[in-house]
Structure 1
Amino acid sequence: MTQPQPLLLPPAQAQFTEQLPYHRLARLSPRYRWWRPLLGTLVVAVAYMTTVVVLMFLVAALGSGLGYPQDDDGWPEFGPVSETAVDLLCIAVGIPVLLLVVRWIGRRPAGTVSSVTGRLRWRWLLLCVLTAVPIVGLAMGCLFLLPADGEPDSQWVGWPAFGRALVMLVLLVPVQAAAEEYVFRGWLTQTAGAFLRSPWAALLPQAVLFAAAHGWGTPWGFADLVVFGVAAGWLTWRTGGLEASIALHTVNNLFAFGVSAAVVDGLTSDETAADASWQLVVLDVLSIALYTAAVAWWLRRRRLDRTAPAPRPPALPPGHPYGNGVPVPQQWTAQPGWGPGVAGAPPWAGQPGPGAGGVGPWAGRPGPGAAGAGPWAGQGGPGAGVPPTAPDGTVPAPPPAGRPETGTALPPASPGAGGDGTDRT
């Protein structure tokens, strides 16, 4: 005789959260929508341009108020050091603008642009800076060995002027370089990564835009900037943050601006990295490759977080038939509100017959099960403590002393019932 078994539901399976790499962190917000990265890009551009215009007006008003002479365009002439400081500040203001947009439009922590940990990893940043200094310094030293190509000899600016310029550069170049990294390797990479899973597909557009932002000088200079953008983007993805790219960009700019500040009228030059010659590009590409290899070597000896857990879907209220994609066990007996077509109702709910009204199909049949109780009622388990009923609905007298109590053994089948619990009448 086959005894019916209670309904067993599979245990809830463990929930595994998707791990998002750096370029996919735009999806980190539980309120992510496809339009948020696109709207954020537009807001960043408009807000940044507005901030720069306001800053320029303030600087012009300050220069006029202090009595500085004006050039043909009406712009105050502060001198090469001060004008370079203003140029660097105009780029640096992109950091607060970007972080506010990430928070307000992206609906995620602003630190998720810095790294997958939600912040800058300062020790790792310092290690990357110490790695970049000798490599970039060696490349800059080799630059002085190149032929001058008929250019006039540069004149030393003097220690007082060089000292003032150096202090300004040390204070402002790091935030200027970091701002470019936050925009290109940070925001633009994560915006592309919101739609593209491949890291390379997300990294290549920002590298081209980074080169275009420096203007068109020589094909060699443009190619050098693209190589820098690709290498910095790969380092950002591989390390899970902007620290490695910020370190290389900062050290490279400090050396470049420092050399310009050491000579007379060096800071007034309009040349950028886009105007580099092929000899300089060769040295720069070699230093980028050497730095990238050095960071990869460090990564094999240090443990860095490279991904962040994606947010889980919101949990459904208790009692819902499904919670986070896993069935929630429901009581199989009749519950209020069950009926055909109702979420969470058993398959027999609303069917005609003894199981109508959400009661099990065995309800009302002779045997150990009371109306609405399963066939195992009276046994240890879900039906324990429910007294058996006779076919006419009466409750039989309790068993005499010495007999097993209810729930320790099956009661005898009712008259007319087969050994398998089915009615033979």
Structure 2
Amino acid sequence: MTTTLPAPEQVTVPVPYHRLAHTERHRWWRPLVGTLLVLAGAFAAALGPMIVAGIVGLSLGLPQDEYGWPVLGDELDLAVGLLGLGLVIPVVMLVARWTQRRPGGTVSSVAGRLRWGWLGRCVLLAVPAVGLMYAVLFLLPGTGAEAVFVGWERFLFGVAVVAVLVPFQAAGEEYLFRGWLVQAFGSWTRSPWPGIVVSSVLFGLVHGYGTPWGMADLIFFGVVAAVLTVRTGGLEAAIVLHAVGNLAALVTGAAIGALGSEETATDAPALVAAVDMAMVAVYGVAVLWLRPQSLLSR
């Protein structure tokens, strides 16, 4: 009695996420050329909305600063910046297709697309985790700040801006750091760790340098987000944590009129950074515990 095993081509085993750029058309130079194009495209994506907003502002006769540039206000300035980061998503996907001859959707996940069902489950994990973090910070001594509510009209306008654009901004950063960079290094090395480490350090550096604790917090976030991306086979878990965290911070800023603040996560003091890293770790463990058995599932 004999048993017929399926032919190798009939068994579907997803390629690890970080190796998706290592296709049969891979050449050592393609990730290098692609990275240069991604950086150029990201610069153009950031500059484009600024130029359009400036032209519109001048045509409307808005007040000008000392450089002759129209003053849009904190909320609209933030909207322009968030939009520019969101436009990095199509840039990365197009460069993946042009330079590496692979579907742009393979930057999203091993399924070739964002897995919306899994993304939704990650939201259910991230919202209580971030909410608990803010509750802890509110109760700890020395972490609260006195502020004055800006009023409902300005608050609701600010919330509308961040609610619409922050998910795209967070996704744009994830497509660049946890997507393009992790896969670029993965096209050269079988181990995901070179890409995880380099992308996480660069993620921290692009936010500027404020405190050692803030920098450690950002790099830790980058490492956890990259590990989740590799282990779950896609960007969904990283995008959700990034977006929910930014939404919470910016909605709080909108309430006190601080959307124009130049402070970033890298300016966090030791206690705030420690609480944030604990939240990120808890979320990471929960995601790995509940990740889908099949990485190709929705």
TM over 0.5: yes
More helix by share: 2
Residue 261 of structure 2 aligns with which residue?
269
Q: Does 1:65 align with 2:55?
A: no
Task: Specify which of 143, 147, 153 is matched with residue 154 of structure 1.
Answer: 147
Cα gap change, 1:152/1:252 in structure 2, threshold over 3 Å: closer, same or farther? closer
Residue 294 of structure 2 aligns with which residue?
304
| TM-score, normalised by the number of residues in structure 1 | 0.65
Q: Does 1:288 align with 2:291?
A: no
Larger Rg: 1
- Distance, in Å, in 2 between the alignment partners of 1:118 and 1:200 is 22
Aligned-pair CA distance for 1:201: 2.3
Q: Does 1:255 align with 2:248?
A: yes
Aligned-pair CA distance for 1:253: 0.3
Q: Does 1:227 align with 2:220?
A: yes
Q: Does 1:37 align with 2:31?
A: yes
Task: Specify which of 193, 203, 215 is matched with residue 208 of structure 2.
Answer: 215
- Distance, in Å, in 2 between the alignment partners of 1:103 and 1:292 is 30
Task: Specify which of 97, 101, 104 is matched with residue 107 of structure 1.
Answer: 101
> 3-state DSSP class of the match of 1:294?
helix
Residue 340 of structure 1 aligns with which residue?
none
Residue 10 of structure 1 aligns with which residue?
none
Aligned-pair CA distance for 1:147: 3.3
Aligned-pair CA distance for 1:306: 6.7
- Distance, in Å, in 2 between the alignment partners of 1:219 and 1:102 is 34
| TM-score, normalised by the number of residues in structure 2 | 0.92
Structure 2: gaps (5+ residues): 1-5
Q: Does 1:125 align with 2:115?
A: no
Q: Deviations over 1:344-391 (max 9, x none)?
A: xxxxxxxxxxxxxxxxxxxxxxxxxxxxxxxxxxxxxxxxxxxxxxxx
- Distance, in Å, in 1 between the alignment partners of 2:154 and 2:208 is 29
Residue 51 of structure 1 aligns with which residue?
45
Count the aligned residue pairs: 290
Task: Specify which of 49, 55, 75 is matched with residue 81 of structure 1.
Answer: 75
- Cα RMSD between the aligned structures? 1.9
- Distance, in Å, in 2 between the alignment partners of 1:204 and 1:306 is 26
Q: Which amino acid aligns with 1:272?
A: T
- Distance, in Å, in 2 between the alignment partners of 1:222 and 1:303 is 34
Q: Does 1:177 align with 2:170?
A: yes
Aligned-pair CA distance for 1:15: 4.4
Q: Does 1:200 align with 2:193?
A: yes
- Distance, in Å, in 1 between the alignment partners of 2:217 and 2:135 is 19
Cα gap change, 1:306/1:236 in structure 2, threshold over 3 Å: closer, same or farther? farther
CA contact (8 A) 1:21 1:306 kept: no
Which structure carries more relative contact order (alpha carbon 8 Å, separation 6+)? 2
Q: How does 1:340-419 map to 2 (within 5 A)?
A: none
- Distance, in Å, in 1 between the alignment partners of 2:14 and 2:243 is 30
CA contact (8 A) 1:22 1:237 kept: yes
Residue 3 of structure 2 aligns with which residue?
none
- Distance, in Å, in 1 between the alignment partners of 2:260 and 2:149 is 15
Q: Does 1:24 align with 2:19?
A: yes
- Distance, in Å, in 2 between the alignment partners of 1:19 and 1:132 is 26
- Distance, in Å, in 2 between the alignment partners of 1:24 and 1:152 is 45
